[in-house]
């Protein structure tokens, strides 16, 4: 999402300036590490403070904007991406970040995810996947594994979970990565690359819900006896959909790193081109004039 990312900051941004309210997540919730990583990377990149905009839907993970001292909106469940799209298109000078959970992104908001991705809207999206609905206290989510008991599936989940990385690859996103909240260095690297990518970048970050699904990601954590296996970018064809799809077959714990990376014009660029062209053809028409004309022609 690097349209104006590297603009020189007027003064060095500190974590103290970026921190807002004290996070209200449960002790050891994986979301703390995601927040800390976001602070690290934004500070490292020197993004001007007034250019940061954090958008979220609803869920524990979606509380994110409260904890960041920047422009921020806590919006409707599953609707963060359409709102963020509007912000990104109308304010190309801002760095738009979207944070949310597996329910917010893959269930109620799944449709919006596909469209924001295929349009290659210039923003960065982090799905904090905990395989459960945390905020509403333990219901089955679209990523919950079969057999896992929850309030909505007391005898164990029966529906086949979605494959988040396969869905993201199919969606048309131009930067797609996967990380783990217990691997801070790796998460920092993925977030930094996502932010610097021009276009729709997305990172699925496994973030443990210690309250309702403890141990969910131990198989991807070497400190808990699991394996943290990285995508080999030397041998992987990074802009191949087929190669990326190949990686998605390995679900649990799966591979971590960048699955897919390509360059395609962003919706921001294409829309700007269209507007400039239309304005030049109609004298000095404002964007409002163009909109009025368009509506008039549709009557
Ligand atoms: C339109 C609407 N439907 C349902 C809800 C209830 N609701 C709030 S958060 C949530 C699920 C949150 O799960 P997830 O997105 O995975 O976030 P987490 O809490 O796990 O971080 C649901 C179903 C709501 N707030 N609004
Ligand atoms: S309920 Fe789960 S996801 Fe929500 S704050 Fe607590 S540990 Fe984190
Ligand atoms: Mg969740």
Task: For 113-147, write each residue's pLDDT tens digit.
Answer: 999 999 999 999 999 999 999 999 999 999 999 99
Residues 162 and 296 in one domain: no
- Specify whether 69 is located in the same domain as 207: yes
- pLDDT at residue 9 greater than cutoff 70: no
The residues with which 261 forms a beta bridge, in sequence order, are 175
Q: What is the pLDDT of residue 4?
A: 47
6 within domain boundaries: no
- In short, whether 104's Cβ falls inside 6 Å of ligand 2 is no
Q: Identify the nearest ligand to the CA of 104 by its number.
A: 1
> Counting ligands in written order, which one lies closest to the CA of residue 29?
2
Domain total in the chain: 2
Residue 168 domain flag: yes
Distances from the Cα of 243 to the Cα of 63, 146, 158, angstroms: 35, 27, 30
Which residues have C-beta within 8 Å of that of residue 248, sequence separation ≥ 6? 163, 165, 166, 169, 254, 259
| Nearest Cα residue to atom 1 of ligand 2 | 134
Residue 7 has pLDDT above 70, yes or no: no
- Residue position matching structure tokens 């390509």: 262
Same domain? For 116 and 129 the reply is yes
CATH classification at residue 175: 3.40.50.970
Q: Are 260 and 248 in contact (CB under 8 A)?
A: no
Range of the domain at 122: 15-264
Same domain? 171 vs 248: yes
Q: Is 273 in the same domain as 130?
A: no
Same domain, 151 and 289: no
**Does 63 sit in the ligand 1 pocket, CB within 6 Å?**
no
Residue 3 lies in a domain: no
Residues 134 and 144 in one domain: yes
């Amino acid at each position: 999402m690097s349209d104006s990312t590297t603009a020189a900051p007027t003064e060095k941004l500190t974590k103290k300036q970026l921190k807002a309210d004290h996070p209200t997540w449960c002790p050891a919730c994986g979301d703390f590490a995601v927040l800390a990583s976001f602070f690290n990377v934004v500070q490292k990149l020197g993004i001007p403070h007034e250019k940061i905009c954090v958008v979220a839907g609803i869920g524990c993970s979606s509380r994110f904007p409260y904890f960041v001292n920047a422009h921020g909106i806590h919006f409707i469940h599953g609707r963060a991406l359409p709102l963020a799209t509007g912000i990104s298109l109308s304010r190309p000078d801002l760095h738009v970040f979207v944070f949310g959970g597996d329910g917010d992104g893959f269930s109620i908001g799944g449709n919006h995810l596909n469209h924001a991705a295929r349009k290659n809207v210039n923003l960065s999206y982090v799905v904090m996947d905990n395989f459960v609905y945390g905020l509403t206290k333990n219901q089955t989510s679209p990523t919950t594994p079969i057999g896992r008991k929850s309030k909505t599936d007391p005898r164990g989940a029966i529906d086949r979970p979605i494959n988040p990385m396969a869905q993201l690859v199919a969606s048309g996103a131009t930067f797609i990565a996967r990380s783990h909240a217990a691997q801070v260095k790796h998460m920092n690297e993925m977030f930094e690359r996502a932010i610097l990518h021009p276009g729709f970048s997305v990172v699925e970050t496994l973030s443990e819900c210690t309250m309702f699904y403890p141990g969910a990601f131990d198989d991807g954590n070497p400190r808990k006896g699991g394996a943290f296996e990285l995508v080999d970018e030397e041998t992987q064809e990074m802009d191949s959909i087929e190669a990326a799809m190949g990686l998605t077959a390995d679900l649990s714990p799966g591979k971590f790193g960048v699955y897919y990376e390509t360059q395609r014009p962003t919706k921001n660029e294409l829309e700007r081109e269209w507007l400039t062209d239309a304005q030049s053809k109609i004298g000095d028409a404002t964007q409002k004039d163009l909109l009025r004309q368009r509506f008039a022609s549709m009557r």
